[in-house]
Amino acid sequence: MVNAQLVKAARIIVGWSQQDLASRCGFSRDTISQLESNLTKPRERTILKIIDVFYEAGVELLDEDLSMTIRVNKSLMSQE
């Protein structure tokens, strides 16, 4: 499952603040902050929403062979 470090890394890749990601997901900034700090275990629907928002921005969060991966689609990222 997607972890805190992967979310933070993806957020930095696209140049978003915690507030930017939170706004795009419809969450509070505190939700993102707590997730990235491992202060709370997010619900599955929270993680799925974050995955969807990053995917729409051209970034895929993947769980492959027990390792976490970020895949960037540069053509989608340039549309922002």
| pLDDT tens digits for range 33-80 | 999 999 988 899 999 999 999 999 999 887 765 556 777 776 665 554
62 vs 8, more confident: 8
The residue written with tokens 């976490």 in the block is 68
Give bridge partners of residue 59 from the DSSP assignment. 72
Question: Given this model, what pLDDT does residue 28 score?
Answer: 97
Whether 62 and 69 have beta carbons less than 8 Å apart is answered as yes
Question: Given this model, what pLDDT does residue 3 score?
Answer: 86
Type of residue at 9: A
Question: Given this model, what pLDDT does residue 70 score?
Answer: 72
When pLDDT is cut at 50, 70 and 90, the band that residue 26 belongs to is very high
Q: Which two tokens stand for residue 3?
A: 């972890």
Q: What is the DSSP string of 36-71?
A: HTTSS---HHHHHHHHHHHHHTTEEEEEETTEEEEE
For the chain, list the domains and their CATH numbers: 4-77 (1.10.260.40)
Closest listed residue to residue 55, CA positions, set 3, 14, 1: 14
